[in-house]
Structure 1
Amino acid sequence: MSTPFDGEAYAARIAALAATGKDMHGEANFVAALVEPGARILDAGCGTGRVGARLAELGFDVAGADVDVSMLAVARRIPGVRWYLADLAELDLSTTPDAAPFDLVVAAGNVFPFLAPGTGERVLQRLAAHLRPDGLLVSGFGLDRAHLPEPAAIVPIEDYDAWCAAAGLSSVDRRGTWDGEDWTPEGGYAVSVHRRRS
């Protein structure tokens, strides 16, 4: 996954948004409502660690993975989370302290539109492999140019759903925002919840 910002610049942008009073924890709050306290969560494509850090603050057992060295350098300043440098298309935590399956994997922040072309299905297979049976995968990303930064690719939601199905994931819910608003195809953003079939 590549990004249009280096880690320091991205962190500064997020900090500036937070300073305006904007709630920066919508993704973490959405995820926290789906699992039991203390659940194991993987923040896939964690970037600078904002979502994973908040989930750890809420008492979850969190690991994060990202391929961007500069993003991960910022994340690693945050205590209480295990951070891994990894390409999601090749993700394998079987030889790490996080070999046990996760209760939930979250991919927030337009992870899928920033993947290397042609790797979406493989990434979903690798994420599903890190879930326990009946575990949840939650992702959120923009569906049109108005909801994506220019370098990001547009990923049709039908393609995403097909990749999920091929990875053994069944649809549970779809929302239009991390605040839980109803989803419509015209809304331009989708937060999708899928479950690993047991």
Structure 2
Amino acid sequence: MSEIPLSRWALGGEATRGYGPRFAELVAQGEDVDGEARLADALSPRRSRILDAGAGMGRVTAALRARGHDVTGIEPDRTLVAQAEETYPGIGLLPLDILELTPAALEAHGRPTAYDVVVAVGNVFILLAEDTERRALTTLRGLLAPGGRMLIGFHLAAGPSGSRTYPPEEFMADVDAVGLKVDLRAGSYELHPANSEYAVWLLSAASSPSR
């Protein structure tokens, strides 16, 4: 397997450490942290196989399981994996990077190798390792079941510490290059109109990569 470079998240060091505890506190206070999961649920047939790629501290994985789906959550940050287990005992996030995802790796953990919906929300794509966006998109595309779809969301401006700016035009070019197509672009997980602050993308496999 090719080398897995350090992500922007990993390189952020201490600047990233407040994320898990902050969301754990919101969960403990009963705050609504299920916006992404509600949309993913609406996109999914009942009892779907869903991959939560870059699951963080597990809130989307947990919310989708509560809605009856078979969810595989992956998260390479061991601190967040531990935080997820504290907040959602038994959640069992797999300590894998998106770039490590292969059918063999998933099989080794007893998980499906094809998914009805792949979710990569919460700024996952603007915190990937430099110049790995197409590699990540290709990896996730390869795990889509026939007719499967991909839900991706990230800030276009004022993203988290260490994140990149990912202009919509560049993202769409990367999507096209790896054999995906944009079915929908919105400005929020409640499907507000597209804007310059946040982008929510619904993707599916094109017939073949364009180049």
Q: Please state which band the TM-score falls in when normalised by the shorter chain.
A: 0.7 to 0.9
State the identity as a percent: 36
Q: Which ranges of structure 1 fall in alignment gaps of 5 or more residues?
A: none
Looking at structure 2, the residues matched to 102 and 80 of structure 1 have their Cα atoms a distance apart, in angstroms, of: 22
Please give the secondary structure, in 2, of the residue aligned with 1:104. strand
RMSD: 2.0
State yes or no: 1:183 paired with 2:191: no
- In the TM superposition, residue 38 of structure 1 has moved relative to its aligned partner by 0.3
Change beyond 3 A, Cα 1:30–1:36: same
Match of 1:10 in 2: 19
Paired with 2:156 and 2:190, the residues of 1 have a C-alpha distance of: 17
CA–CA separation in structure 1 for the residues paired with 2:26 and 2:94: 26
After TM superposition, the score normalised by the length of structure 1 is 0.88
Q: Contact conserved, 1:104 with 1:137, CA < 8 A, in 2?
A: yes
The aligned residue for residue 153 of structure 1 is 164
Kept after mapping to 2: 8 A contact 1:171/1:194: yes
From 121, 132, 141, the counterpart of 1:128 = 141
1:25 CA displacement: 0.6
CA contact (8 A) 1:39 1:103 kept: yes
Q: What displacement does 1:19 show?
A: 6.1
For 2:163, give the aligned amino acid: A
Cα displacement (A) at 1:18: 4.6
Counterpart contact for 1:62–1:82, Cα < 8 Å: no
Query: CA offsets per residue over residues 125-165 of structure 1, 9 Å max, x none?
Result: 001111112210101100112xx123111111222112222
CA deviation vs aligned residue, 1:61-97 (integer Å, no higher than 9, x gap): 0001122111112224535655211121232143332
Alignment match, 1:196: 205
In structure 2, runs of 5+ residues without a counterpart are 1-6
Are residue 164 (structure 1) and residue 168 (structure 2) matched?
no
Partner Cα distance (1:191, 1:19) in 2? 27
- The two structures have a TM-score, normalised by structure 2, of 0.83
Taking the aligned partners of 2:183 and 2:89, their CA distance within structure 1 comes to: 32
SS of alignment partner, residue 16 of structure 2: coil
Partner of 2:150: 137
Tell me, in whole angstroms, the C-alpha distance in 1 between the residues paired with 2:156 and 2:44.
Answer: 26
Deviations 1:28-70 (A, max 9, x none): 0011001111000000011111111100011000001122111
CA distance in 2, matches of 1:82, 1:161: 33
Residue aligning to 1:83: 93
Structure 1 residues 75, 50: closer, same or farther in 2, change over 3 A? same
Residues 152 and 64 (structure 1 numbering): CA distance in 2 closer, same or farther, change over 3 Å?
A: same
